[in-house]
Amino acid sequence: MADTEIHPSKFVDISIFGLRLAIGAIFIAAGFLKFDPSVVPYLQQMGLPAELQFLYALQEFVPGILVIAGTLTRISASILSTVMLGVIFYIDKLSTFVEPNGAALAVILLAASLVLITTGPGKISISYIVKKIPRFLQ
């Protein structure tokens, strides 16, 4: 009879990989949408200059790609955490939490980014394959 036991370390690495895929995909999609020129009036409504549109898009798009790839995961997750703190406290202003435009999604994305900061990229990542990237940069 074959042994079908899953080792905890493999399960943890698969879970971290799944979290990285989900978080990265959400931020890539959100960042990609912000490249559209129709975002400029939204930025101006929030009191941000229109010149920041590409920086606003890149701060979600590039870290999302790096999180999925598993390179510079901790740094990228730190950037995404900072973005989510800005969304929670500056854009949403914690006025509502669960309502349709509430801060619940931003809080969940912040928590997931903090998990990636503490766990790192895991073994299913480019950082693990290369093994020359210092741990604090993973």
Transcribe 125-137 into DSSP letters.
SHHHHH--S-GGG
CA 92, CA 48: separation in Å to the nearest integer?
15
Phi, psi dihedrals of residue 79, rounded to the nearest 5°: -65, -45
- Whether 2 maps to a domain, the answer reads no
Domain that holds residue 124: 8-132
Q: Which pTM was predicted?
A: 0.85
How confident is the model over 5-18, as a mean pLDDT? 79
- Whether 72 maps to a domain, the answer reads yes
**Which structure tokens are listed for 94?**
């914690």
**Which structure tokens are listed for 16?**
């971290």
User: Could you read off the pLDDT of 115-137 as tens digits, one per residue?
Assistant: 999 998 988 888 888 877 777 66
User: Could you read off the pLDDT of 51-96 as tens digits, one per residue?
Assistant: 888 998 999 999 999 999 999 999 999 999 999 998 888 876 666 7
Distance of CA 60 to the CA centre of its chain: 7
- Whether 1 maps to a domain, the answer reads no
Q: How many domains does the chain have?
A: 1
- Whether 3 maps to a domain, the answer reads no
**Which structure tokens are listed for 131?**
């093994």
